[in-house]
Amino acid sequence: MAYPATTMAAPYYRPRKLPRVIKRQLPVLLLVGIVFVGGLVAVTIVWRNLYYERLVLDRGLHQAQIETLRKEIQQLSAQVEQATPYLRLSAWAREQHGWLALTGHAADVHVPWETLTPAAKKDAIARQGLRNE
């Protein structure tokens, strides 16, 4: 059965009163809400700090890998630079004289002093392995 809406004859609006149970529980609910929001903020801060720490560790790891790769590149480029004169000499000997390298046989290669670069001349003087020919 439906009850008719009550109309008030008073000139002002008076909202309905909250039940006594809700009035008593409201401070507890407010405290629980504040604790929940505070916990949520704390968890968010901890999560952000952990994420930032992981990013810092990843960045450090990647920097270490990059440094290792740079060192490997330097080492390989030095090895290529050391091997390049031999390749040039062997190509020159093959083209000019038709000489081929013998497998399992090591021999001295004599290069004229005038054809050496200044760096090669310094190296030869330091090693005292090459003399003017």
DSSP per-residue string spanning 62-88:
HHHHHHHHHHHHHHHHHHHHHHHHHHH
pTM over 0.75: no
The per-residue pLDDT for range 76-100, each reduced to its tens digit, is 888 877 777 777 778 888 888 888 7
Q: How does residue 69 score in pLDDT terms, banded at 50, 70 and 90?
A: very high
What average pLDDT does this structure show over 33-51?
Answer: 96
Q: What is the pLDDT of residue 41?
A: 97
Q: Are 121 and 113 within 8 A, CB to CB?
A: yes
Indicate the SS3 state at residue 120. helix
Sequence ranges of the domains in the chain: 21-101
- Residues of 58-89 as b/e, b for ≥16 C-beta within 10 angstroms? eeeeeeeeeeeeeeeeeeeeeeeeeeeeeeee
What average pLDDT does this structure show over 44-50?
Answer: 95
Q: What is the pLDDT of residue 79?
A: 82
Q: Are 119 and 125 within 8 A, CB to CB?
A: no
Q: Kindly state the DSSP code that residue 114 receives in the 8-state scheme.
A: G
Q: Kindly state the DSSP code that residue 113 receives in the 8-state scheme.
A: G
